[in-house]
Structure 1
Amino acid sequence: MTFVISKSIILLTIILQFIATALLAFLLLSCIDTSSNYSNVYLIDYKFNSSSSLYQHLTIKSNSTTLNDLDDISIKVGYLGVCLSIKDDLKCTTYKTLNSIPSYTLNFLSNQFNLLQIAQTFETIIHPHLLMSCIFLTLACLLILCYILLPLPGRIIMNKIGLFISFINLMLWGLGSMLQVQSCKTAINLLSDSSFGLISSKIGTRAEIMTWIAFSFNFVVFLCMLLSNWIDFRARKVVTSMGKV
């Protein structure tokens, strides 16, 4: 009975860890491609605030063509990429290849600045390294869980290693989730103040949900690993007691 319960816990943990890994991977790859799987997952969406009293002084030019309707323009940013949408035209790229997107220049009274510079300000606030580390740890934990499920030697040791990795992963992504939320709020306030209210921003709901679901699943994975190790400990203790008798 204990064996069946232990295997069931490990199987449940594998499923949750796989889902968490997929969510974190999609979060990392947000806004790098025009596919809806990537472009609809974003951390922040920048748009022009038409209710601002300064909005009437704002125009945008590209290749000597002036666009007067700015309501359909939005910039969505992720960990590695940026999506620029102008009317029905959607272009996505990574921060390293921003030059592949046509340069749009904003004219505000006598001042000019590149539209893509707005996206680059976010790159300096948030970094993907912590998220990448968590994805690596979730993959490592997933492999360990698959190993534990199979009838292979060293299961007890691997179970302990999996518990340690799941705890580190939980702590790292807990920190990463809080930093992501704080960085998004900081970027929104920074851009709103620096643009004198001309640009409005909102946090991506889908990305935020994916972030906290992944954290919740990592927390459940840690609890399952803790329970699995406790079951192993109890089983060894019973065997030891029987041996003494």
Structure 2
Amino acid sequence: MSLNKIAGEQEEEIRRSKIIDEQKTEFISIASHEIKTPITVIKAYAQIAKKAKDDNSQFLKEIVEKIDFQSSKLLSLVQQLLDVSKIENGSLIYSMEQVSICSFILEMASIMRHILPNHELITELCEDVDVRIDKLRMEQVFSNILGNAAKYSEKNTVIKITSILDEGFVKICVSDQGIGMSTGGMKSIFEKFYRNEDVIRTHAGLGMGLYITSKIVTDHGGKIWVTSDEGLGSRFYFTVPF
């Protein structure tokens, strides 16, 4: 091996290490902000509730609902951090069970319609088949992908879930009418801590959701990928064996 080649490989390794360090630094900064925000809001509402008059029950109910919402947001952030840690040390555990996939998708769609009331969520599914999945983890997959579809698309637009049977797999697609992404974004979207530069300032997030999602899908024996057109929307595909 020539000295030039060795030097080139060393430079590339240094470059990759620098990028990883920069991503970690940026992640710590973003994570600190994302976690601090709901804590600050919870504390503020708790202080307001303490000063409220006892007879103002409707006001207190609204305050408690806001505290509950921010607490759920904080719990989700902490859960993502824990999941990444489990993935890194190989301790992500699954509890597999037999599930009718289309029934499961319809159930998830019903739940997500309440969570995403500003979007029209429609389904177009294949014949039902049984699959072996961890229901809680697969709920996480749908929640992450559908949540992103809503986050990066305008209100009152359509999010569509389709499924087909394809050579021993159920192929599921979630399509949206959102901002889409570049070719570079599609290549990196499932990487840990990755966030597209175009949306960092306008959309909150830690860059962990799709990384965790991809790990769950592959651990179920499936694959995950995305196609997209900038300004027109994205289509997230993943497969589950049956």
What's the TM-score, normalizing by structure 1? Answer: 0.28
Higher relative contact order (CA 8 A, sep 6+): 1
- Higher share in helix: 1
Larger Rg: 1
* TM score, norm. by length of structure 2: 0.28
